[in-house]
Structure 1
Amino acid sequence: MTDLNKQKIVESVPQRGFFGHPKGLFTLFFTEFWERFSYYGMKAILVYYMYYELSQGGLGMEESMALAIMSIYGSLVYMSGIIGGWLADRVFGASKAVFYGGIFIMLGHIALAIPGSVSLFFVSMVLIVLGTGLLKPNVSSIVGELYSEQDSRRDAGFSIFYMGINLGAFLSPLIVGTVGMDYNFHLGFGIAAVGMFLGLAIFIYTRKRNLGLAGTFVPSPLSPDERKKVFRRIGISVLLLAAIVAIAIPLGWLTFESFIVIVGILGIVIPTSYFIVMYRSPRTTSVERSRLIAYIPLFIAAIMFWAIQEQGSTILANYADKRTQLDFAGIHISPAWFQSLNPLFIITLAPVFAWFWLKLGKRQPSIPKKFAFGLLFAGLSFLVILLPAYFGGEDALVNPLWLVLSYFIVVLGELCLSPVGLSATTKLAPSAFSAQTMSLWFLSSAAAQAMNAQVVKFYSPDTEMAYFGVIGGAAILLSVLLFSFSSKIQGFMKGIR
């Protein structure tokens, strides 16, 4: 997208109207609020739905397999963002990608709400993976289009947007989690479908008057000849893939275990390939190439961070169900409620961090240093959760306040890294790859969860202390290295702070 088009978009958006920010932030805030409500509500009960017995309304899978599938599912959700980013950049723009994605997500939750077989479960997963890939990177990309590159409100705007994400994520485990765990899993999934419908309705009703031209430009459209060639290749690839799967499954070549390995490899290969393609593209300028080099260590740091943070819905969810004292202070705690802790702390602290960055102004830490702080807190959150086993043994039920403390510490890191990473991605992205670079940012989570699908196999009550200690220690070591090289990385950013 040219600088002229970027300026046209900014001028078309009402620049005041939502807490001193562009009016379009209202539309995107509530669209993403309801999408995250549906996603995190489903996610809060999904792992329990997989490994609870059939008599309890679940699918009866083995716990280790359910944890691995949960990680792979999370990886594929973010990995599919590459497809959504490419379609937005080359075919129909970010706004249409958000609309189509919301429809797919809603249909996926409806499929989960229908009592059925494991096959129907996987159909719903495919729909949600494709839908999230279309919606999530592109709604964030549109937020970036609301502001000029030099607008000082930009980081604060992303922090407000991030608070909206987490407001939906906070409420959904309490509502969907309670209904799903105490009454019926499928009714809980149905509530998630209603949430996505509300998000779509808000987006459709308010986008014209609030977003202006944001999300409507196709930054690097396919020519008619390119369109024919590309879609022919896509069609052939889909048919070939379907044929391979049809042959591999009956022969026993494609199993859950082998699929997990394949996704783990793709989690590393895909982002690496994208960095190479963007760096070598003739549409990428020399300044943009330098910024891409600066982006690589940030991306690696993000993988390490998300590898810890995303285990909140796998290892720590299982920890809450199996290792935590759930009768506390006169109430019975649902294990799904712990999924609300992360967004609750973000809702509370996001305005504080947004105010703090604005207050510091040019004196605030650089982007690499903020990432280093994020990693430090992530590592500490895992060191904290190993302490109960150290003091009380591996068999005793753990006071739930230990989990609360672990979630709190990792949130401190998340607010140093995640909204800053979203904002940095929009700043460092090559113009011709704006939406795709946002998809690349979400691939850091995809890569992390692909790795987690292998790592979670090593967790058990017997290995608990070593598991949390090794991963937490590795994150702290990486944070020290990143902080040490922060000035060098900043130099490659060519004026971006």
Structure 2
Amino acid sequence: MSTAMAAAGEKTWFGQPRGLTILFLTNMWEMFSYYGMRTLLVYYMTKHLLFAQEKASFIYGTYTAMAYFTPILGGAIADRWLGKRKAVVIGASIMAAGHFLMAFEPMFYLALSVIALGNGLFLPSLPSQINDLYRADDPRRGRAYNVYYVGLNIGGVMAPLVCGTLGEVYGWHYGFGAAGIGMFAGLLIYLAGKRYLPVEAAPTRAAVRDPAEPRGNHRNVWWLLLGVGIAATIFRGAYEQIGNTLPLWIDSGVDRQLAGIEIKMTWFQSLNPLLVISLTPVLLMAWRRRAEAGRETSPGMRMAIGALLVAAAYLLLAVLTALAGDARVGWWWVVAFFVVLTLGELYILPTGLGLFAKLAPPRMGATTVASWFLAIFSGSLLAGLVGTLWSQASHAGFFLILSLLALVAAALLWRLDRPIRNLPDPA
């Protein structure tokens, strides 16, 4: 059973436990490093290393997939041997080293491997500490993951502006070096704020089960999480193109002139996290009002709506590119695309992470959260494979394929909604 820190009279920051701010800021800088490197990666491979587009897309997909596969092993190591705190510190240190290695061209493949390895320990161990900050009946717990998600995306806003600009103007390696500095800053914040974090139970090599709870309950949970994970995999095959093929389209198919100044292609990568930050408070307010009126949307249905919105966003690009022909599309349409896509993202991704954390069996928090990242692993592999079609299909046809992938994910999530709602709410 987790040690909940929330109690009457607790000291808070912004109405939430202080530990949430520490986790928020730590992951903010981790996302700065991740998005900073991701913003540059495809451009670096195609423009500097002169890789073919298909090869660059496949490497990008494989790297992002491995970065989300290693958490499966890392989550088990954290739960059974290291504990979440040690796993975060060790993982962040390894990731910082990997980002600095990216500044050296001969170390390219080694650097990607080191970052993926460190991410395996860091990624499941940090968000799995959120639940331990609250009592089971604390109404703030359900919205904590959306608040946390904003922190991630503040780093995502800064990354393309800082790392992207350094990479385009001064050289790719300067951008990669800045990403490493961001990862190191996150590690320092975590170490400085550890007194505000939940006290965790000693790691155990065997999962603990409540004797009063039937074994079938856990089995049903895992089957449902598997279904959600399959839907998330399909969704990610479309969603992850925003860092893969979409930058290539922005570079070649978008008119980036604004008042006589060319908007840098990497700056568009800031739109998604910037919109996350600005739209999240609006959505949280709307969701809270629906809950108070007794009309709260269930997690499965909320995720299905998110996938539908992403399908609509890619359908918009399919129509625009079909109508444009050989002409370039205005940059304002890219902004409109990101608004719709980000709304969909906010419905599905924080909800999915929160669902996995909420349903985690006792003392398997990091492992269960890592299972959510397994869907990102498989989805990133799918995205890499789908990305190889970019050079073989028309732009309109390619974006239509992405829209259909998101639509399939929405249908599957809609079918899973009732079983998810019928699960007993864990204490």
Select which of 95, 98, 103 maps to 2:88: 98
- Does residue 37 in structure 1 map to residue 24 in structure 2? no
Please give the TM-score of this superposition, normalised by the length of structure 2.
0.93
Cross-structure match for 1:211: 197
- Does residue 337 in structure 1 map to residue 267 in structure 2? yes
Select which of 143, 161, 169 maps to 1:174: 161
Q: In 2, are the aligned partners of 1:109 and 1:124 still within 8 Å (CA)? A: yes
- Does residue 163 in structure 1 map to residue 153 in structure 2? no
- After superposition, the Cα gap between the structure-2 partners of 1:367 and 1:18, relative to the gap in structure 1 and judged at 3 Å, is same
- Does residue 107 in structure 1 map to residue 123 in structure 2? no
Tell me how far apart the structure 1 counterparts of residues 215 and 137 of structure 2 sit (CA, whole Å): 19
Alignment partner of 1:363: what SS?
A: coil
Alignment partner of 1:458: what SS?
A: coil
Alignment partner of 1:369: what SS?
A: helix
Q: In 2, are the aligned partners of 1:15 and 1:21 still within 8 Å (CA)? A: no
Select which of 303, 308, 317 maps to 1:371: 303
Select which of 295, 313, 334 maps to 1:381: 313
Q: In 2, are the aligned partners of 1:368 and 1:483 still within 8 Å (CA)? A: yes
- Does residue 328 in structure 1 map to residue 258 in structure 2? yes
Select which of 195, 207, 222 maps to 1:292: 222
In terms of fraction of residues, the more helix-rich structure is 1
Please give the TM-score of this superposition, normalised by the length of structure 1.
0.80
User: Which residues of 2 match residues 310-325 of structure 1 at below 5 A?
Assistant: 310-325=240-255
User: Which residues of 2 match residues 377-416 of structure 1 at below 5 A?
Assistant: 377-393=309-325, 395-416=326-347
For 1:401, give the aligned amino acid: W
Q: Which runs of 4+ in 1 moved over 6 A?
A: none
Q: In 2, are the aligned partners of 1:284 and 1:431 still within 8 Å (CA)? A: no
Q: In 1, are the aligned partners of 2:359 and 2:426 still within 8 Å (CA)? A: yes
Select which of 187, 211, 216 maps to 1:200: 187
For 1:127, give the aligned amino acid: V
Alignment partner of 2:139: what SS?
A: coil
Q: In 1, are the aligned partners of 2:62 and 2:384 still within 8 Å (CA)? A: yes
Alignment partner of 2:124: what SS?
A: helix
Cα offsets for 1:140-179 (capped at 9, x unmatched)? 1011221223221012211111000000001110111011
Alignment partner of 2:12: what SS?
A: coil
Identity of counterpart residues, as a percentage? 32
- Does residue 457 in structure 1 map to residue 392 in structure 2? no
- After superposition, the Cα gap between the structure-2 partners of 1:422 and 1:400, relative to the gap in structure 1 and judged at 3 Å, is same
Q: In 2, are the aligned partners of 1:51 and 1:63 still within 8 Å (CA)? A: yes
For 2:261, give the aligned amino acid: I
The alpha-carbon deviation at position 467 of structure 1 amounts to: 1.8
Cα offsets for 1:76-103 (capped at 9, x unmatched)? 1011111210111111111111101110
Alignment partner of 1:97: what SS?
A: helix
Tell me how far apart the structure 2 counterparts of residues 144 and 71 of structure 1 sit (CA, whole Å): 31
The alpha-carbon deviation at position 39 of structure 1 amounts to: 1.1
The alpha-carbon deviation at position 473 of structure 1 amounts to: 2.5
Long gaps (5+) in structure 2: none
For 1:459, give the aligned amino acid: W
Long gaps (5+) in structure 1: 53-57, 223-276
Structure 1 stretch displaced more, 456-465 or 28-37: 456-465
- After superposition, the Cα gap between the structure-2 partners of 1:169 and 1:217, relative to the gap in structure 1 and judged at 3 Å, is same
- After superposition, the Cα gap between the structure-2 partners of 1:440 and 1:487, relative to the gap in structure 1 and judged at 3 Å, is same
- Does residue 220 in structure 1 map to residue 204 in structure 2? yes
Alignment partner of 1:459: what SS?
A: coil
Cα offsets for 1:361-412 (capped at 9, x unmatched)? 242111110111011011111101112222111x222212222222211111
- After superposition, the Cα gap between the structure-2 partners of 1:426 and 1:61, relative to the gap in structure 1 and judged at 3 Å, is same
Tell me how far apart the structure 2 counterparts of residues 373 and 97 of structure 1 sit (CA, whole Å): 35
Tell me how far apart the structure 1 counterparts of residues 412 and 208 of structure 2 sit (CA, whole Å): 26
User: Which residues of 2 match residues 71-82 of structure 1 at below 5 A?
Assistant: 71-82=61-72
Q: In 2, are the aligned partners of 1:30 and 1:164 still within 8 Å (CA)? A: yes
Aligned residues: 422
For 2:216, give the aligned amino acid: S
Tell me how far apart the structure 2 counterparts of residues 340 and 400 of structure 1 sit (CA, whole Å): 14
RMSD of aligned Cα (Å)? 2.3
The alpha-carbon deviation at position 417 of structure 1 amounts to: 1.0
Q: In 1, are the aligned partners of 2:58 and 2:385 still within 8 Å (CA)? A: yes
Cα offsets for 1:37-58 (capped at 9, x unmatched)? 1111111111111111xxxxx2
Tell me how far apart the structure 2 counterparts of residues 485 and 474 of structure 1 sit (CA, whole Å): 17
Tell me how far apart the structure 1 counterparts of residues 214 and 190 of structure 2 sit (CA, whole Å): 32
Tell me how far apart the structure 2 counterparts of residues 357 and 496 of structure 1 sit (CA, whole Å): 22
Q: In 2, are the aligned partners of 1:386 and 1:468 still within 8 Å (CA)? A: yes
- After superposition, the Cα gap between the structure-2 partners of 1:342 and 1:26, relative to the gap in structure 1 and judged at 3 Å, is same
Considering only CA atoms, is the larger Rg found in Structure 1 or Structure 2? 1
